[in-house]
Amino acid sequence: MSVLTKQAPGAAASLAAGPPGRRTRGTARRRNQRSGYLFLLPWFLGMLFTIIPFFASLYLAFTDYNLFTEPNFVGLANFQAMTEDPRLWQSLKVTFIYTFVSVPISLAVALLIALVLNRGLQGLAIYRSVYYLPSLLGGSVAIVMLWRYIFGNDGIVNSFLGLFGIAGPAWVTDPDFSLSTLIVLNVWTFGSPMVIFLAGLRQVPTMYYEAASIDGASRWRQFRSITIPLISPIIFFNLIMQLIGSFQTFTQGYVMSGGTGGPADSTLFYNLYLYQKGFTEFEMGYASAMAWLLLMIIAIFTAINFIASKFWVFYDN
């Protein structure tokens, strides 16, 4: 996940660099290419360590590998077992609820804050950093622990509700509420899509707005007809990245529940269950098969998004 959040500001930076000058195009291009590859170098090096486990897991998905003894080929047995595994379905349910609730909300919040920040605030850099901070911290163990305290029985949230005479629920230990606590945590980390939105918003030429207001368009109308279409590629980008990230959620569920996915499997994220299968039940073959199922799920959702994007994403090129 950290790779994702690191990529995001990089993309933002290249946007913010602004339009290329009209200098000698060829050399500039070559220089750009060279630095491009240079920036990609760490990724290529990292890829060397990724590519082998990547293909190994594809092979292991069709074996009964248990970490300790030689894997035996078992064909599709792992995938077949998945269809009859209630905890797998539970983990899919948790992951889907988490994704489909938290991604739209966090994108909306990110866009909203970006719009506010884009209105020429003084000290923009400071605000931007302050709002970005949670997304650097959100996946960290310390913040999830802090979250447990905030939403704990004697935590700030319930103390605050207590002021109004409301007895708050056991946010963390009640299976009906534990996932919502994590959804709030995820929404809180809206920083990285926000920074990308902000960069996108700054690229929208002001003359469009000027022209529109001369024509008497309302603010809402301007937002709908100018802002949204022009930043639609960025909305799309953020949507895809958030979706992928959210399908792969692990740390939050692991730390919040002490690795169990509890209470009562209510925070059993797909990746957490995968991890349990692989490392506590030693069914690495099954865990590998699960990893590939997740890849397929993500690929399908990404594909659906790409197809749907034809109808709402506006590309200039």
Partner 1 sequence: MKRTATTGFSRRIFLGAAVTAAGLGLSGCAGGGSPAAGGNVELNFVYWGDSNRAKMTDAAIKVFEEKNPGITVKSEYQDSGPYADKLATRFAGGNPPDVLAMANRSLLEYAQRGTLADLKGLPELNLEKIPETVLSRGEVDGKLYGLATGVTTIGMVVNKTITDQAGVTIPDDKTWSWEDYAKFATEVTQKTGGKVYGAGYDVSTETGPILLARQRGEDFYTEDNKLGVSEDTIREWFQYSVDLRNAGGYPPAGFFEQIGGSPAQSYLAKGTVASQIIPINNFRGYNEAVQGDVVLLRMPGETTEKRRGYSADPTMLWSIAAKSKHPKEAAKLLDFLTNDADGAAETLTQRGVPINPDVAESITSKLSTDDTTFVNMMAAIQEDDLPPAYVYPKGASVVADTLKQLATEVEFGRITPADAAKTFLEKSNAAINK
Window 104 to 163, contacts with partner 1 (CB under 8 A)? 145, 148-149, 152-153
Q: In Å, how far are 80, 153, 255, 275 from 172, measured between CA atoms?
A: 34, 8, 12, 21
The residue (of 17 and 122) whose beta carbon lies closer to partner 1 is 17
Rounded least distance, CB 123 to partner 1, Å: 25
Residue 241 lies near partner 1 (rule: CB under 8 A):
yes
Residue 172 lies near partner 1 (rule: CB under 8 A):
yes
The residue (of 132 and 178) whose beta carbon lies closer to partner 1 is 178
Residue 170 lies near partner 1 (rule: CB under 8 A):
yes
The residue (of 122 and 310) whose beta carbon lies closer to partner 1 is 310
CA separation for the pair 111, 198 (Å, rounded): 8
Q: Which residue of 179, 195, 289, 294 would you call a contact of partner 1, by CB under 8 A?
A: 294
Q: Which amino acid is at 6?
A: K
CA separation for the pair 180, 98 (Å, rounded): 8
CA separation for the pair 56, 226 (Å, rounded): 48
Q: Which residue of 50, 129, 159, 218 would you call a contact of partner 1, by CB under 8 A?
A: 50
Q: Which residues contact 263 (CB under 8 A, 6 or more apart)?
A: 172, 173, 174, 175, 178, 257
Residue 9 lies near partner 1 (rule: CB under 8 A):
no
Reduce the DSSP state of residue 63 to 3 states and report it. Answer: strand
List, in sequence order, the alpha helices (H) in 120-258.
Answer: 124-137, 141-150, 156-163, 178-188, 191-203, 206-214, 219-222, 228-247, 251-256
Positive/negative CA dihedral, 265, 188, 110, 1: negative
266, two tokens = 């209510």
Residue 57 lies near partner 1 (rule: CB under 8 A):
yes
Q: x-or-dash pattern for partner 1, window 252-291, by CB under 8 A?
A: ------xxx-xxxx-----x----x-xxxxx-x--xx--x
The residue (of 64 and 124) whose beta carbon lies closer to partner 1 is 64
Q: Which residue of 107, 179, 234, 289 would you call a contact of partner 1, by CB under 8 A?
A: 234
Only one residue has tokens 């077992």, namely: 81
Q: Which residue of 13, 45, 56, 121 would you call a contact of partner 1, by CB under 8 A?
A: 56
Residue 14 lies near partner 1 (rule: CB under 8 A):
yes
The residue (of 134 and 263) whose beta carbon lies closer to partner 1 is 263
Residue 64 lies near partner 1 (rule: CB under 8 A):
no
